[in-house]
Amino acid sequence: MPKCSKELNCAFIIFRHGRGTGRAKAMTRNAMMSDTDLHLDKLRKARERGIIDRFGLYGLHWGDPDERADLVAVRDRFVWPLIHPDKIAVEIGPGGGRWTRYFLPCRRLYVVDRYPELLAELSRNFHAPNMVLIENSGTDFPGIADRTVDLVFSYGTFVHFELPMIADYLHEIRRILKPGGDVVLQYADKTKPVGAETPSFPDCDPQRIAKIIRDAEFRIVQQDDELLNNSGLVHFTR
Ligand SMILES: C[S@@+](CC[C@H](N)C(=O)[O-])C[C@H]1O[C@@H](n2cnc3c(N)ncnc32)[C@H](O)[C@@H]1O
């Protein structure tokens, strides 16, 4: 495993895999189609406006999971019960790390992001030796072996993905997840007024997300469409 590049000052970073196979090429196309500069713009604007310094961590201005009631409920119901020091965890799209901090007690934590600039932002605050930073190509997990992961979590990230891209991610999650492993994803819900009014949210709702999760041969453990005003949470397993 290569050492971390100097500017990231983290445990390790694994760079992108090649995109040789037909499936990998199609997956990259889906990732590109869903791609925008949204995440880089958000980070750069937060820097320019002094938001990161004011809140102490990039992302806390969207709500602190230790303070905002609905996020506290997400933490207590969907995160804490799954954390264990024997587990290998993956977080997809960590941003500045407002959720990442809860996964640090795991034996190993892979943090996967498409943008090196976001991984660099994360590594300003986190230097844990059990944390492995991975830059992916949009929907893949380079360097993570088949059936080795106990837990996959993503918040604030899949809400921006179109369904074909989520389906690609599900295929890859199925590859890395151990049988019986847990996955928790936040998804956009366009049936809610606030979700419908959020331009960066794609067309997605509880029924369609549940269908593609089942189509990918996972079993849904719980799905919550009440807690959040613009989105939902789904916990599933294989
Ligand atoms: C809106 S931020 C949310 C960050 C964090 N999870 C939170 O809730 O504060 C979205 C994150 O997803 C990352 N991201 C965007 N597209 C991605 C992709 N295809 N795969 C992995 N991460 C991605 C962004 O770089 C950013 O870190």
Please tell me the predicted confidence (pLDDT) of residue 217: 97
CA of 130 from ligand 1 middle (Å) equals: 20
Decide whether any atom of ligand 1 lies within 6 Å of the 99 Cβ.
yes
Q: With 50 as the cut, is the pLDDT of residue 2 above it?
A: no
Please tell me the predicted confidence (pLDDT) of residue 127: 87
Alpha helices (H) along 77-228: 100-103, 116-125, 163-176, 193-196, 206-215
CA of 20 from ligand 1 middle (Å) equals: 25
Q: How many CA atoms lie within 13 A of 193 on its CB side?
A: 0
Q: With 70 as the cut, is the pLDDT of residue 144 above it?
A: yes
Mutate to test the pocket of ligand 1, among 17, 111, 114 (most ligand atoms within 8 A of CB): 114
Cα(129)–Cα(132) distance, integer angstroms:
8
CA of 39 from ligand 1 middle (Å) equals: 7
CA angle 171, 173, 174 (to 5 degrees): 65
**Model confidence pLDDT, tens digit, residues 198-219:** 999 999 999 999 999 999 999 9
Higher-confidence residue of 23 and 136: namely 136
List the residue whose alpha carbon is closest to atom 14 of ligand 1. 93
Q: Give Cα 202 to chain centroid, integer Å.
A: 16
Mutate to test the pocket of ligand 1, among 157, 163, 231 (most ligand atoms within 8 A of CB): 157
**Model confidence pLDDT, tens digit, residues 39-54:** 899 999 999 999 999 9
Decide whether any atom of ligand 1 lies within 6 Å of the 138 Cβ.
yes
> What is the 3-state composition of the chain as percent helix, strand, coil, each rounded to the nearest 5?
40, 20, 40
Mutate to test the pocket of ligand 1, among 37, 39, 42 (most ligand atoms within 8 A of CB): 39
Task: Look up the CATH number of domain 6-175.
Answer: 3.40.50.150
CA of 156 from ligand 1 middle (Å) equals: 7
Decide whether any atom of ligand 1 lies within 6 Å of the 95 Cβ.
yes
Residue whose entry in the numeric block shows the structure tokens 């606030």: 194
**Model confidence pLDDT, tens digit, residues 179-200:** 999 999 999 999 999 999 999 9
Decide whether any atom of ligand 1 lies within 6 Å of the 52 Cβ.
no
54: which residues sit within 8 A by CB, 6+ positions away?
61
Q: With 60 as the cut, is the pLDDT of residue 36 above it?
A: no
Take residue 139 and report the two structure tokens written for it: 């929907």
Domain ranges of the chain: 6-175
CA of 94 from ligand 1 middle (Å) equals: 6
Higher-confidence residue of 33 and 160: namely 160
CB 159 within 8 A of CB 40: no
